[in-house]
Amino acid sequence: MGQMTSILFIVVMFAFLYFFMIRPQRKQQQQHQSMLSKIKRGDKVTTIGRLHGVVDEVNEADKTVTLDCDGIFLVFDLNAIAKIAPAEDAKTEAPKSATDGTATTSEADSSADDSSAASADSQADDSEAK
């Protein structure tokens, strides 16, 4: 009876490990692989090292991806990609101030701050000249 209980306990432990650890990890790996199979040029990505860039080239044969990080082209393994944000179309979202010609309140505030900062700089230059 004691031996049967210990064997049953071991079987229950393996079942617990499978359903709460192994199975969710496999599901996450499958989701990551499907995400990587959909990667294309122009997608904004984040690597596992938290480097943000835009996909320039995907090499399926070598399983690498070339990222454009502000003009610097870096080659990474496909598995180094943590997140993908789809490429945005600049044509679909135009800034509001460009379409109707009026400035928003944040734009007006920033231009007022810029003008006050410029006048403070000019006053400081005038006092240094004296």
Q: Is the pLDDT of residue 7 over 80?
A: yes
Question: What pTM does this model have?
Answer: 0.54
Kindly indicate the confidence band of residue 88, based on its pLDDT and cuts at 50, 70 and 90.
Answer: low
Confidence check: pLDDT of 110 > 70: no
How many C-beta atoms lie closer than 10 Å to residue 43's C-beta? 19
pLDDT of residue 32: 93
Residue predicted with more confidence, 76 or 115: 76
Residue 108's pLDDT is what? 45
pLDDT surpassing 90 at residue 124: no
pLDDT at 123: 53
Provide the pLDDT for residue 80.
94
Mean pLDDT of 101-128: 48
pLDDT attached to residue 1: 74
Ranges 5-9, 14-18, 87-91, 111-115: which has the least confidence: 111-115
Chain centroid to CA 70: 14
Q: What is the mean pLDDT of residues 9-37?
A: 92
